[in-house]
Structure 1
């Protein structure tokens, strides 16, 4: 029992035994600073310093931007930025898809490559008649007269869906004689209108220029995108007065009639009309005379 008390007393004496910490001048050995310390004081000082260091580190991480560098930590700012980037990514995907569809339409207009057409979709009347071949209902005389009147009034309307949503009519780009008619059998998805050289070419409807450049086969080409998925193309121009991205109005001058490109034999306008990626006969909706 006395032995244990002796050991405890010895430990207490060691903890409370005083030491002097002296800082001397190395050259003169002059005493600069001195401290009286015990082992207990040192342990307490080290413990308090460690606690203060931990508390300061915690506060620094919790209330400063440094916390964002901790693995697994997610701040509100980072979440909002991630959501914003996700929205922008979705928007870019949509824009890319639209652009790819637009480029595909332009490619078809420039090359005339239509592989999916197995019948003449260019005449709306032809489509309607082919879909109703099996109908044997005989219209009355009054109904026939009404139909004839409506057909005459709608002769130069674009198509049924357009007339339902708006009064949408096409403006003749030039006036002249049609030298080469629309013929899907020979893949001539256009009408060639012979007119005087340097005659102004006008936009068939309001729209946006999506292509305006030179091609070897068709010379100066301008393509305009309109509402209702409608595209018009004007080829063999002498010059273009609009560029890609320009907004145009119906009847506005966009080019000058010319004789450019390899596939031409004289001054004329090669005019194409496309809807939803398919060519349609312009003479069904425009009077070029």
Structure 2
């Protein structure tokens, strides 16, 4: 016990021993500045300085426009500005087309082709708008074939009885053989589809990424939230191509299949379908077979 007290006193003495930091003129050895320090003060100053640097850096990144220069950061204001610029550009193109028509009428007068300017502003504005009667809405053969393929892939609508969601269908995230089916008794709330490694994994429907991270048991996991309180889960991916908060469209690639995580035994996709907080058998609504 006495030895332990001596060691503690020795350490305390080392921390509290006073030192003097002196800054001298090299030529005249004149003392310019001096500081009284001890090891404890130096440690406290270094710690406080480190905390201030971390806090300042965090503040600059989180609350100042500097965050927009970080690679991969998507600014809401920049997206809004881009949308506004696209709309403004479209409007300017219409104005330019109208002005060109007006200049053509003036040119005809100057060259003597006509005596008066034949230009009607209202007619010119209307000409820039699409006329639905002039658009051929009849589907082509390619459109008919595509619709048939999509109808086969999306053979079931998950919400057939809901009037507000009759058009809501699901896209197969991958195509392959189902190696393990949905089983509530075994607590397997999804299905396993065997696919080659790095097979593109697609979004079952349009929605928002609410989770995109690595987990020890199921590897790279991405979860999408869709309308109608529907959630889809994609596990054991080799890599993820979307981040949390991003919007995705139906059929858009969101990951590549793999065999990551402790619970994986080979390259496959574990896919789950949840609605209102309850799991549902995905194979009842999506055709995964090739």
> Taking structure 1 as the reference length, what is the TM-score of the superposition?
0.46
Larger radius of gyration: 1
